[in-house]
A = this chain, B = another copy of it.
């Protein structure tokens, strides 16, 4: 075998698969932003076709033959070379995907698209019982999926889809320490009165858009390589390192949109800054869901809810929204960091957010192990909300039906949100050490040094390394203490 030739063949094969996946992402982005609504049914079929063809090509025997032919050659190359990384990561992914029969995968896709439709209706009428059979089907199929793998405990298999190589016991440890640290902070926060009244008011959407564009370009997405559009739920879709699509939402009576924009911009910056040499390979993505989330949270919370940032932007903000004239920057900063236990995860503050995740992580394990009959899920949810956050859940729509994940069959995803928060603060501490005058720079609206640090330590590598290895090279491993210290400062 001529390794360079075979490697070129592998790259060409993976480039085509990546093209199909990106085209599929464009179909999805377009569906949320541009598509005329009548086209939904056909669009669903189009997306399913592209996903199927990409998957077929990836799991094909020929991919395996290429990997076999390249195994010895790749092992002789430096671990962090592009070539060794592509062969290693493709092999890992290929072996994993090959374990799942195509028929099961199709059943899962079909069931989740049906469950999604049921969930929409059930949430509208706040009727959990209606959702139970569809959820049961998703859970049953997910159990069959888990059976395809040799794992210590069932949850390992679903977690691995989002955090390759991470074990449930590690998550349990981190989230356990997080929960123990958060409970006293929540209690402390309850004692504290923060005026947030001025976050509701008259905030013209055009001005919000102008500020968004200013922030995104200052954060460092290069001109001509991104766009931002309004959607009901904000998201980031990279179609190439040179084509980052962000979405956000604006309400004329509140300022939440700017934080959604910064969050999505963090996701976008990550894939925008992957080494261009990895373009059109499966490595031109983020390393894992948690590491992706660490970037979005870093820009949303550590930059975007920080005092330094608002010292820079607040004068501009006041020009846009004259009614903020009566509010000084410190009051504004306190308000956007206020802590109040609430019902809905996506609206939760930084301190209580982690408890929403702990609850979901526990319930998911119980659902997948069968310890919790699904008909009891709603009551279990409500009881734990009361216990963890002290809030009464008035209806299923604002309770167990609030998130789309389980309807889509996404189990194992929720913990990555909390891990992302944890990792974001660890990286932030490293960035502060690397850039001693970081606060001063941010107060001047300068983000270059921060981005250089993140590019060198995280972004440029894309998905070359498993998350554990990437973290080993930067922060060691997930540790909730820095995050807890950051939160403690918010409520003190």
A interface residues, Cβ below 8 angstroms from B: 15-16, 19-20, 22-24, 26-27, 30, 34-39, 41-43, 45-46, 49-50, 52-53, 222, 224-227, 239-244, 279-280
Contacts and interface: CB of A to CB of B under 8 A. Distances in A.
Contacts of A37: 224
Given A23-B27, A36-B244, A38-B222, 11 more contacts: A15-B49, A16-B49, A23-B26, A26-B30, A34-B227, A36-B243, A39-B225, A41-B242, A42-B239, A42-B279, A43-B240
Nearest to A49: B19
Of A37, A52, A242, which is in contact with the most chain B CB atoms at under 10 Å from its CB? A242
25 contacts: A15-B49, A16-B52, A16-B53, A19-B46, A19-B49, A20-B49, A23-B24, A23-B26, A23-B46, A23-B49, A26-B26, A26-B30, A36-B224, A36-B225, A36-B226, A36-B227, A36-B244, A38-B243, A39-B239, A39-B240, A42-B239, A42-B242, A42-B243, A42-B280, A43-B243
B50 A19 contact: yes
Contact of A50 (B15, B23, B45, B240): B23
Nearest to A42: B240
Contact of A15 (B30, B45, B53, B242): B45
B30 A46 contact: no
A70 to B, nearest CB: 22
Interface of chain A: mostly helix, strand, loop or mixed: helix
Given A36-B242, A38-B222, A224-B38, A45 B26 contact: no
A49 to B, nearest CB: 4
A225 B15 CA distance: 33
B280 A39 contact: no
Most B CB within 10 A of own CB, among A36, A224, A280:
A36
Contact of A22 (B24, B46, B222, B224): B46
Contacts of A38: 222, 224-225, 242-243
A41 to B, nearest CB: 8
A30 B20 CA distance: 15
Contacts of A39: 225, 239-240, 242-243
Contacts of A42: 22, 239-243, 279-280
Contacts of A244: 36
- Which of A24, A26, A222: most chain B Cβ within 10 A? A26
A41 B41 CA distance: 31
Contacts of A20: 49-50, 53
In this complex, the member of A26, A42, A222 whose beta carbon has the largest number of chain B beta carbons within 10 angstroms is A42
A174 to B, nearest CB: 37
Nearest to A22: B46
Contacts of A30: 26, 30
A415 to B, nearest CB: 33
Contacts of A24: 23
Contacts of A241: 42
A257 B39 CA distance: 27
